[in-house]
Amino acid sequence: MSKEIPYKIYLEENEMPKQWYNVRADMKNKPAPLLNPGTGQPMTAEELEGVFCKELVAQELNNTDAYIDIPEEIRSFYKMYRPSPLVRAYCLEKALGTPAHIYYKFEGNNTSGSHKLNSAIAQAYYAKKQGLKGVTTETGAGQWGTALSMACAYFGLDCEVYMVKVSYEQKPFRREVMRTYGASVTPSPSMKTSVGRKINEEFPGTTGSLGCAISEAVEAAVSKEGYRYVLGSVLSQVLLHQSIIGLETKAALDKYGIKADMIIGCAGGGSNLGGLISPFAGEILRGEANYDILAVEPASCPSLTRGKYLYDFCDTGRVCPLAKMYTLGSSYIPAPNHAGGLRYHGMSSIVSQLYDDKIIRATSVTQTDVFKAAEQFARTEGILPAPESSHAIKVAIDEALKCKESGEAKNIVFGLTGTGYFDMVAYQKYNDGEMENYIPTDEELAESIAKCPKI
Amino acid sequence: MSKEIPYKIYLEENEMPKQWYNVRADMKNKPAPLLNPGTGQPMTAEELEGVFCKELVAQELNNTDAYIDIPEEIRSFYKMYRPSPLVRAYCLEKALGTPAHIYYKFEGNNTSGSHKLNSAIAQAYYAKKQGLKGVTTETGAGQWGTALSMACAYFGLDCEVYMVKVSYEQKPFRREVMRTYGASVTPSPSMKTSVGRKINEEFPGTTGSLGCAISEAVEAAVSKEGYRYVLGSVLSQVLLHQSIIGLETKAALDKYGIKADMIIGCAGGGSNLGGLISPFAGEILRGEANYDILAVEPASCPSLTRGKYLYDFCDTGRVCPLAKMYTLGSSYIPAPNHAGGLRYHGMSSIVSQLYDDKIIRATSVTQTDVFKAAEQFARTEGILPAPESSHAIKVAIDEALKCKESGEAKNIVFGLTGTGYFDMVAYQKYNDGEMENYIPTDEELAESIAKCPKI
């Protein structure tokens, strides 16, 4: 119990989890099912299998099995970049002068630059196993698209990425990473799909949106033989795959006899947060332990802290099933000056239910505070963090400073989801003192929430 | 001896070397001394201390001590990103169908994205210890400048980077990383130094060169109280610091009872190559073992394979001391279409002497072959490699394919010096099929080599 704690705790390869953990099995209140927007009835496996891979649909609907085996092929890929380190932030602690012990689980040490690869490789594997030719997806800035390209290259799958046109043109670097991995990247809206052509006709010169790219990717998947659509966040299957983050974190803490007091994660669609907290939330749900779990979201896109728990569309194009989630309304788009990521209008059903049941708390932070924390973290801990991850850093620093006041030596664990190498335009804005904050008004949120379907 | 070899061999923190290895101590033919360009005499410690930090000068001139302690403060910083992994390239081996075992030492898992940080933190430490206010340096694309910025942020040192103007303007991302770490970044030529003003006057609208940036950085260092100049490659002190790469590699191989047959490294100024091979070359020099050590350089900048072993200026501006090295002449500049890094006209004196003594071999490769290898590596091993590192990948793949022919199960070790996240413009050129090769003519090389000083 009193082993000296290294800067980086690396589990051995044979200590890497062999099963994902499905927190839904331990939830008394299960997340609400996806609904067919036409009928208002729960989506059946058959309906979902037209769009998604068969085995992933089974995982999406599985509310009962607590553990699901990670196939050997996926474990082999994981071994190229996992187990990821749990880092003791000695240098940050020293700079803050806090008695708190700060740990972060670092998921950025792979070419996708984030945790997204954990689910991308799983989804690509099941697509390959089903005998598919390829998969389609959308991407905004390109983090998820990059991860999926890497996964598809590994399994020899075709990968079609619809990239929001403005990002395709203004952020060419991630586009080129995807191309290097053999993906075809199409600026959206395109002329390749009927929905793309329609949007181009109605709004000539449009620079696209994530909602439009989703619609194109879904159409491309369902209209071609041997293709399915895949998604990098929000879905319960994604949180299942991402549970490896939390399981490794727990195993590393246990190995050194450390009991976490607080667990902090940034929250956009919920994939990182859900994965990080799953095993800890499971212990709370089973009455085995208690943790203070905190979701951190941007003040400009505050779905948990200011949204409503309602059925809503998963996409702005309204082609996907309805999900019950904390939402700002599918038409809500963060202000253009919002640079810090985590722009999704809703929150994963699992995270939403855990929040509604008060298993976890949530808070929001402004982006200038986030970049200030990012800068301090970079200068002390060396790693240049992704803006998304820096939401968690900001709150971890605040909590460590509270410990300095109170003298408490809390164990604070947070998720460092990725690196910021492809976010230098946002950093430049901060460095130049030109970054501004945006906090939506109550009226603005009420208006977009009012557009949610009445179910 | 028959332990199962994991994908990634991580040494424990307490297995990280406590001393750097100075290969010069074991060299019968020592590298030739730096000369004062005015007098033609060896530079004295006093002369060098006007430009460089005192303790670094001592390391530069130390040809006798085989081991030099790594100060505890530097070890603490190293622990944030070291020991770096030695990776078994199982997936690449499988893709090639080779009986060879391929290992790579991966130095890209830190925010500078390369091995440069190993020396940057050492140089910043000695500057701090000497009570200096700050350091100055030059940077081209920004890899070294980024590493130095990180190191200076850690020790609270002022960091002034002169960045080649064309890179400052066209590659703003690394510039912003440096600014995030608190460095001041000045496009060179600037109006801040007399040499900069002179060049701006003579060549209005010039986009700068590395030689000019060096001259400005040196002038800035010597003309201000409390500043010294630091350099990221070529110098013997840098190779000393970089020996940690080779020492960790050797320790990881020994831990698993693996005897390397070949060791392959890319070579620009020689910092990575020299660091990687030092302990192995030491064994050869002491008659304890034999290895096939191979330096890989770009066909467009082939200092070892087509240069001459002569005294030459270290910089195109001819303000620095003379070094004896394999050189293409300090006026040699690779063709503008050269995208793959490793553009230095000469080679570290240590590496040059080892090559001249036939302790190591050298070969050159064209950049389209390099990017093809980079693409294959990225798609199989996941990591997007730096173009520089990909020179070593190309030759490692070639050697592994030779093993496939011969049936030999050689152990091939190469240095993966860094990641290519900030090199996507070059990757795009390759992806678009627009990359061309350039091989200088004998006449061209003879002309620039003829301009070397007659000593």
Peptide bond into B99 cis (omega under 30): no
Going by DSSP bridges, is the β-strand pair A308-313/A411-416 parallel, antiparallel, or unpaired?
unpaired
Inter-chain residue contact B177 with A427, CB threshold 8 Å: yes
Q: A308 with A346: CB under 8 angstroms?
A: no
Q: Going by C-beta distance under 8 Å and a sequence separation of 6 or more, which residues neighbour residue B322?
A: B34, B35, B36, B37, B311, B312, B313, B314, B453, B455
**Alpha helices, DSSP H, located in A318-434:** 349-356, 367-381, 387-406, 424-431
Q: Which residues of A touch B8 (CB under 8 A)?
A: 13, 79-80
Q: B19 with B69: CB under 8 angstroms?
A: yes
pLDDT > 90 fraction of chain A, expressed in percent and rounded: 85
Last residue of a domain, one of B181, B196, B229: B229
Are both A106 and A123 inside the same structural domain?
no
Are both A253 and A382 inside the same structural domain?
yes
Q: Is residue B339 part of a domain?
A: yes
Q: Is residue A77 part of a domain?
A: no
- CATH number of the domain residue B133 falls in: 3.40.50.1100
The pTM for the full model equals: 0.94
Q: Is residue A12 part of a domain?
A: no
Mean pLDDT of chain B: 94
What sign has the CA pseudo-torsion B126, B131, B137, B141?
A: positive
Q: Is residue B14 part of a domain?
A: no
Residue A131 has pLDDT above 50, yes or no: yes
Lowest mean pLDDT: which of A202-211, A240-249, B172-181? A202-211
Task: Quote the pLDDT of residue A2.
Answer: 53
Are both B198 and B147 inside the same structural domain?
yes
Residue A171 has pLDDT above 60, yes or no: yes
Inter-chain residue contact B382 with A13, CB threshold 8 Å: no
Inter-chain residue contact B384 with A111, CB threshold 8 Å: yes
Question: How many domains does one find in chain B?
Answer: 2
Q: A33 with A47: CB under 8 angstroms?
A: no
Are both A27 and A141 inside the same structural domain?
yes
Residue A75 has pLDDT above 60, yes or no: yes
Q: Going by C-beta distance under 8 Å and a sequence separation of 6 or more, which residues neighbour residue B434?
A: none
Phi-psi sector, B349: left (phi>0), alpha (psi -120 to 50), beta: alpha
C-alpha B312/C-alpha B330 separation (Å) is: 7
Mean pLDDT calculated for residue range B219-246: 96
Q: Is residue B6 part of a domain?
A: no
Q: Which residues of B touch A172 (CB under 8 A)?
A: 424, 428
Question: Closest to A424 (Cβ–Cβ): which among B79, B153, B173?
Answer: B173
Inter-chain residue contact A172 with B384, CB threshold 8 Å: no
The boundaries of the domain holding residue B421 are: 82-113+235-449
Are both A424 and A353 inside the same structural domain?
yes
Task: Quote the pLDDT of residue B2.
Answer: 53
Band of pLDDT at residue A1, cut at 50, 70 and 90: very low
Residue B389 has pLDDT above 80, yes or no: yes
Mean pLDDT calculated for residue range A212-219: 90
Inter-chain residue contact B431 with A109, CB threshold 8 Å: no
Three-state DSSP state, B439: coil
Last residue of a domain, one of B195, B229, B263: B229
**DSSP code per residue over A102-169:** EEEEE---STT-BTTHHHHHHHHHHHHHTT-SEEEEEESSSHHHHHHHHHHHHHT-EEEEEEEHHHHH
Are both B206 and B86 inside the same structural domain?
no
Three-state DSSP state, B223: coil
Are both A103 and A128 inside the same structural domain?
no
Task: Quote the pLDDT of residue A102.
Answer: 98
Task: Quote the pLDDT of residue B305.
Answer: 98
Question: Closest to A177 (Cβ–Cβ): which among B109, B172, B384?
Answer: B384
Minimum Cα–Cα distance from B13: chain A residue: A6
Lowest mean pLDDT: which of A309-313, B335-339, B380-384? B335-339
For an interface test with B, which of A421, A427, A430, A432 has the most B Cβ atoms less than 10 Å from its Cβ? A421
**DSSP code per residue over A176-241:** HHHHHTT-EEEEES-SSSHHHHHHHHHSTT----HHHHHHHHHHHHHTSTTEEE--SSSSHHHHHH
Residue A339 has pLDDT above 90, yes or no: no
Task: Quote the pLDDT of residue A320.
Answer: 83
Mean pLDDT calculated for residue range A121-126: 98
Last residue of a domain, one of A188, A208, A229: A229
Are both A354 and A252 inside the same structural domain?
yes
For an interface test with B, which of A3, A84, A104, A173 has the most B Cβ atoms less than 10 Å from its Cβ? A173
Smallest Cα distance from B295 to chain A, Å:
26
pLDDT > 90 fraction of chain B, expressed in percent and rounded: 85
For an interface test with A, which of B384, B393, B427 has the most A Cβ atoms less than 10 Å from its Cβ? B384
Inter-chain residue contact B424 with A13, CB threshold 8 Å: no
- Other CB atoms within 10 A of residue A287 CB: 7
Mean pLDDT calculated for residue range B156-182: 92
Inter-chain residue contact A378 with B111, CB threshold 8 Å: yes
Inter-chain residue contact B427 with A110, CB threshold 8 Å: no
Question: Closest to B176 (Cβ–Cβ): which among A76, A419, A431?
Answer: A431
Residue B1 has pLDDT above 70, yes or no: no
Are both A218 and A296 inside the same structural domain?
no
Are both A107 and A123 inside the same structural domain?
no
What sign has the CA pseudo-torsion A274, A280, A283, A287?
A: negative
Task: Quote the pLDDT of residue B209.
Answer: 81
Q: Going by C-beta distance under 8 Å and a sequence separation of 6 or more, which residues neighbour residue B432?
A: none
Are both B312 and B389 inside the same structural domain?
yes
Lowest mean pLDDT: which of A402-406, B120-124, B204-208? B204-208
Inter-chain residue contact A180 with B113, CB threshold 8 Å: no
Are both B131 and B193 inside the same structural domain?
yes
Q: Is residue A10 part of a domain?
A: no
For an interface test with A, which of B80, B102, B185 has the most A Cβ atoms less than 10 Å from its Cβ? B80
Q: Which residues of chain B have a Cβ shorter than 8 Å from any chain A Cβ?
A: 6-8, 10, 12-13, 76-77, 79-81, 87, 90-91, 109-111, 113, 150, 153-154, 172-173, 176-177, 179-182, 374-375, 378-384, 419, 421-422, 424, 427-428, 431
Smallest Cα distance from A185 to chain B, Å:
12
pLDDT digits (tens, 9 = 90+) for B273-282: 999 999 999 9
Q: Is residue B9 part of a domain?
A: no
Q: Is residue B455 part of a domain?
A: no
Mean pLDDT of chain A: 94
The closest of B34, B28, B29, B27 to B60, measured between CA atoms, is: B34
